[in-house]
């Protein structure tokens, strides 16, 4: 009876065929099979795993541990400047140097993490090139190879990025080397596909002609197919690099070092400052590597869009190749208009003003105390009987460096136009001179109007500041006169409508500057600021109690920490951009923004549709916006250079910087159209 009852009970509990639970009655041990296979491979094929791991281990040790990390940061920055200049142009090289320099000052140990990130990406891309290009060439030359490789590439490119990590974790564990393997595997397919496509797109008649002349196959490959396939291969390398950079952040989960690990730590601990700093550094490294490696005809595409396209076309990277049809029109013959006699006097005035600005930075800017440095460094509050130049940390500091650079640009614009009108760098022109001059004028005006720190009672401005201001005035007057006379014309006719969108954008910039003015420009949490006499007395009393009663030292230590934490929260001194307790740069940046908004009206065509008039006032708007940017950079960089550890610049300065960028950007659409006019043969007077 008991057996019969048990059978009836089992029949009642057994799920029906249409119940979801019926699938649980069957088990295919795929997981167990995988575990057995992993164990067998780890034991029997350990030698093969070691061979696969060796190139990654050796290259990481060589490139990262032996080269990049021990090298001084200046050497690495200069190396990237040279690489960017040789592979692309001076502008890309300079951007690479500046961007990598910024990465090093974003936080403690950030330069080491930046170097590691570059090294890991370099190793992954190098191995992709070593494996991917020969494999792509083989696929392009032999259909049988392509029929085998193509399904593998399709399979690799539909696998989610996280799934890539599983086999490498099983066979190689956690660490930098397995993470680099994952990155390399993830980034490889586009290079193989595009190399294959490039080889296949070589015209067949060209290949047959080379063979008809008796060229062996290796000569056909090296002298015909690879050179003609180079654009496709270059695009493949760039796409591989973009995917490697994007994957390195994910690979940090399995132990990849560099900025990806810092970013992962910031996310897991919800550390906003670390997340912002590491994210910015990661972004800058990605932009640098992308700009150096990308083909010339894709300069206009932004990094975020290019990464998105790389992910979107992982299965069909061939679509990323430009057709090149109708890419540009034939350049018209002609020569740039020479320097007219009317231009020479305003050019000389502008150059003289720029030269004065250059000379001024070597003169005295501050005496008795620092101006901006006294806010962030206590030692600069009283520097009796001491004077400092525009380049000294206690003098002009970064305001001096910016004045020097802007003065050089003004002089360079005049010299370059005299030597080779229209053929020099884009911004060494009349409008570039006016932008630099107005930026210098706005910056020096804000410098003189800024209030010194209350504790810097002995501060006085030196002669160099006034010389720089006079130079800025001369350069601005001369440059505006020069722009009024310069024979510049647009490459394409400007729209006949009033550009109200630009005016609205300038208004947005003013609103942003207003928000920045009332936001924090400095956060002061130094010990001698946040602790008053009462707090110090309490701390001293607790220390004495701990010495008298060692058994309670742990409890007393916690009390001291809580007291300090409470003081830090309650006594943090925040100074905005308009308060009398600070330099007041926010209000002057806002005033400059209002002037830029006024200049944006004629620049948009509100007072006339004359193209030259709109160009002149667009230049003025851009110069004022650049001046606001220089003011904020000068304030931030000065404090970064000299401030005490617990004195930080606030987000208000950064918001003001963005406002200046937005204001300058309102003029970009007009400025990019104007170049020095050309004189054509039919316009030349006939010889008599």
The dihedrals phi and psi of 577, each to the nearest 5 degrees, come to -85, 0
d(CA 179, CA 256): 5
Structure tokens belonging to residue 22: 């019926």
User: Nearest-5° angle of CA 303, CA 309, CA 311?
Assistant: 105
Structure tokens belonging to residue 134: 């020969």
Q: What is the DSSP string of 415-449?
A: HHHHHSTTTS-TTSSHHHHHHHHHHHHHHHHHHHH
The pLDDT-based confidence of 628 (bands split at 50, 70, 90) is very high
Query: Cα(first)–Cα(last) distance of the chain, in Å?
Result: 132
Quick one: residue 524, left, alpha or beta (phi over 0 = left, psi -120 to 50 = alpha)?
A: beta
Q: What is the DSSP string of 212-253?
A: HTT--HHHHIIIIIHHHHHHHHHHHHHHHHHHHHHHHHHHGG
Return the exposure string of 174-186: e unless at least 16 CB atoms fall within 10 Å of the residue's CB, then b. Answer: eebbbbbbbbbbb
Q: Where are the domains of the chain?
A: 46-58+119-271+298-320, 336-525+572-675, 532-570
**What pLDDT shows up at residue 566?**
64
CATH class of the 46-58+119-271+298-320 domain in this structure: mainly alpha
Residues above pLDDT 90, as percent of the chain: 24
Q: Determine the angle formed by the axes of helices 272-293 and 73-87, rounding to 10 degrees.
A: 40
The pLDDT-based confidence of 328 (bands split at 50, 70, 90) is very low
pLDDT of residue 590 exceeding 90, the answer is yes
Please give the model's pTM, rounded to 2 decimal places.
0.70
The pLDDT-based confidence of 674 (bands split at 50, 70, 90) is confident
d(CA 290, CA 299): 10
d(CA 602, CA 500): 11
For the chain, what is the mean pLDDT? Answer: 82
The dihedrals phi and psi of 387, each to the nearest 5 degrees, come to -125, 150
Element (H, E) at 524: strand 520-524
Q: For residue 199, which of 290, 135, 151, 153 has the smallest C-alpha distance?
A: 135
**Better pLDDT: 258 or 633:** 633
**Average of pLDDT values for 251-270?**
79
**What pLDDT shows up at residue 660?**
95
In contact, 460 and 368? CB cutoff 8 Å: yes
pLDDT of residue 635 exceeding 90, the answer is yes
pLDDT per position as a tens digit, 83-139: 888 888 888 888 889 888 888 888 778 888 888 888 888 898 999 999 999 999 888
**Better pLDDT: 155 or 369:** 369
pLDDT per position as a tens digit, 409-465: 999 999 999 888 888 788 889 899 999 999 999 999 999 999 998 888 888 999 999
**What pLDDT shows up at residue 357?**
95
d(CA 629, CA 371): 19
pLDDT of residue 687 exceeding 70, the answer is no
**What pLDDT shows up at residue 570?**
47
The pLDDT-based confidence of 391 (bands split at 50, 70, 90) is very high
d(CA 366, CA 370): 6
d(CA 382, CA 385): 9
Q: How many CB atoms lie within 10 A of CB 16?
A: 7
**What pLDDT shows up at residue 4?**
46
In contact, 663 and 408? CB cutoff 8 Å: no
**What pLDDT shows up at residue 361?**
94
Q: What is the DSSP string of 462-497?
A: -HHHHHHHHHHHHHHHHHHHHHHHS-EEESSPPPSS
**What pLDDT shows up at residue 494?**
80
Question: In a 10 Å sphere around its CB, with 0-12 CB exposed, 13-18 middle and 19+ buried, how is residue 565 labelled?
Answer: exposed
pLDDT of residue 41 exceeding 70, the answer is yes
Residue 84 CA, distance from chain mean position = 15
Q: Determine the angle formed by the axes of helices 226-251 and 272-293, rounding to 10 degrees.
A: 170
In contact, 116 and 69? CB cutoff 8 Å: yes
The pLDDT-based confidence of 567 (bands split at 50, 70, 90) is low
d(CA 571, CA 581): 15
pLDDT per position as a tens digit, 186-233: 888 889 989 988 888 888 888 788 878 877 878 888 888 888 888 888
Q: Among 57-61, 367-371, 472-476, 544-548, which stretch is predicted with the lowest mean pLDDT? A: 544-548
**Better pLDDT: 163 or 683:** 163
pLDDT per position as a tens digit, 503-561: 999 999 999 999 999 998 988 877 655 556 677 777 778 777 877 777 777 777 777 77
pLDDT of residue 2 exceeding 50, the answer is no
**Average of pLDDT values for 372-396?**
88
pLDDT per position as a tens digit, 274-318: 888 888 888 888 888 888 887 654 444 444 555 555 555 555 555
**What pLDDT shows up at residue 329?**
41
The pLDDT-based confidence of 664 (bands split at 50, 70, 90) is very high
């Amino acid at each position: 009876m008991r057996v019969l009852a048990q059978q009836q009970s089992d029949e009642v509990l057994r799920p029906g065929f249409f119940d979801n639970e019926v699938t649980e009655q069957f088990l295919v041990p795929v997981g167990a099979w995988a575990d057995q296979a992993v164990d067998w491979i780890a034991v029997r094929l350990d030698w093969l795993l070691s061979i696969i791991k060796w190139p990654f281990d050796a290259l990481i040790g060589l490139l990262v541990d032996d080269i990049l990390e021990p090298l001084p940061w200046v050497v690495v920055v200069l190396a990237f400047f040279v690489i960017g200049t040789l592979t692309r142009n001076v502008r890309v090289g300079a951007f690479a140097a500046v961007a990598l320099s910024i990465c090093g000052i974003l936080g403690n140990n950030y330069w080491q993490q930046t170097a590691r990130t570059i090294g890991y990406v370099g190793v992954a891309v190098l191995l992709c090139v070593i494996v991917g290009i020969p494999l792509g060439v083989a696929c392009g030359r032999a259909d049988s190879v392509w029929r085998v490789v193509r399904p593998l590439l399709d399979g690799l490119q539909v696998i989610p990025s996280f799934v890539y990590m599983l086999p490498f974790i099983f066979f190689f564990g956690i660490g930098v080397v397995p993470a680099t393997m994952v990155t390399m595997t993830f980034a490889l397919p586009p290079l193989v596909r595009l190399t294959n496509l490039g080889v296949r797109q070589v015209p067949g008649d060209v290949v047959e002609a080379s063979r008809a002349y008796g060229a062996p196959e290796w000569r056909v490959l090296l002298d015909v197919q690879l050179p003609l396939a180079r654009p496709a291969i270059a695009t493949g390398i760039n796409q591989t690099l973009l995917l490697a950079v994007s994957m390195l952040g994910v690979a940090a989960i399995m132990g990849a070092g560099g900025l990806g690990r810092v970013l992962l730590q910031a996310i897991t601990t919800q550390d906003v400052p670390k997340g912002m700093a590491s994210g910015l550094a990661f972004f800058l490294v990605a932009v640098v590597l992308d700009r150096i490696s990308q083909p010339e005809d894709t300069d206009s595409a932004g990094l975020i869009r290019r990464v998105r396209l790389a992910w979107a076309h992982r299965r069909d990277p061939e679509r990323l190749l430009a057709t090149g049809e109708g890419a540009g029109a034939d350049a018209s013959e002609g020569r740039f208009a020479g320097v007219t006699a009317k231009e020479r006097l305003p050019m000389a005035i502008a150059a003289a003003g720029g030269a004065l600005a250059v000379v001024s930075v070597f003169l005295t800017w501050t005496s008795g105390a620092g101006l901006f440095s006294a806010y962030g460094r206590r030692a600069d509050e009283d520097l009796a009987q001491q004077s400092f130049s525009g380049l000294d940390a206690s003098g002009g500091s970064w305001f001096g460096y910016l004045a020097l650079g802007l003065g050089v640009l003004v002089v360079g614009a005049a010299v370059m136009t005299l030597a080779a009108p229209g053929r020099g760098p884009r911004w060494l022109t009349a409008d570039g001179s006016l932008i630099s001059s107005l930026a210098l004028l706005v910056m020096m005006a804000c410098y003189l109007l800024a209030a010194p720190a209350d504790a810097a009672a002995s501060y006085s401005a030196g002669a160099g500041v006034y010389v720089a201001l006079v130079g800025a005035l001369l350069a601005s007057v001369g440059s505006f006169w020069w722009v009024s006379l310069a024979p510049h014309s647009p490459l394409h006719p400007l729209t006949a409508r009033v550009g109200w969108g630009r005016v609205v954008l300038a208004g947005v910039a003013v609103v942003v500057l207003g928000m920045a003015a009332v936001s924090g420009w400095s956060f002061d949490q130094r010990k001698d600021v946040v602790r008053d006499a009462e707090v110090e007395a309490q701390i001293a009393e607790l220390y004495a109690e701990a010495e008298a009663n060692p058994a309670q030292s742990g409890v007393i230590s916690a009390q001291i920490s809580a007291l300090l934490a409470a003081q830090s929260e309650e006594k943090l001194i925040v100074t905005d951009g308009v308060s009398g307790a600070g330099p007041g740069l926010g209000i002057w940046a806002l005033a400059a923004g209002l002037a830029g908004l006024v200049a944006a009206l004629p620049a948009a065509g509100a007072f006339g549709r004359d193209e030259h008039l709109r160009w002149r006032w667009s230049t003025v708007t851009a110069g004022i916006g650049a001046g606001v940017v220089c003011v904020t950079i000068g304030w931030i960089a000065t404090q970064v250079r000299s401030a005490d550890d617990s004195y930080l610049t606030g987000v208000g300065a950064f918001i003001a910087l963005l406002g200046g960028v937005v204001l300058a950007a309102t003029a970009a659409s007009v400025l990019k159209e104007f170049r020095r006019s050309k004189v054509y043969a039919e316009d030349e007077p006939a010889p008599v």
